[in-house]
Amino acid sequence: MSIFVGNLPFRAEREDVLQLFASFGEVLNCSLPLERDTGRKRGFAFVEMADEDLDHQPIAVDGEDCICLAVTDAPLKFQTLVHKLVQPFLKI
């Protein structure tokens, strides 16, 4: 199951997200995309969990920033023509 994790603080590291999600099951992959021009984190992450039946829920730790989760099986929607043309070939 792939999970989009939004509203992350820019100081969050990959290890922080991995540690947070490890309590819910095996984490297969975690990525924090960077801005192309500046190399700074963009404030969100993608987490891939091994358990497809995992329930999703908002997570808030007392005194910390809230991490909100959204799980969807909807296909990605691209804005640019090039991405729209390539999407069927990549099967995403």
- Determine the Cα–Cα distance for residues 88 and 14; give it in Å rounded to an integer: 30
pLDDT in tens, the chain (92 residues): 788 888 888 888 999 899 888 888 899 999 999 999 999 999 999 988 887 766 555 555 666 665 555 555 555 565 677 666 766 666 65
What is this structure's pTM?
0.58
DSSP for 45-81, written as a single string: EEEEES-TT-----B--TTS--BEEE---PPP---SH
Q: Give me the number of domains the chain comprises.
A: 1
Which domain covers residue 80, as residue numbers?
Answer: 2-90
- Determine the Cα–Cα distance for residues 91 and 75; give it in Å rounded to an integer: 9
* Rg of the chain, C-alpha, whole Å: 15
Report the CATH number that the domain containing residue 36 is assigned in CATH. 3.30.70.330
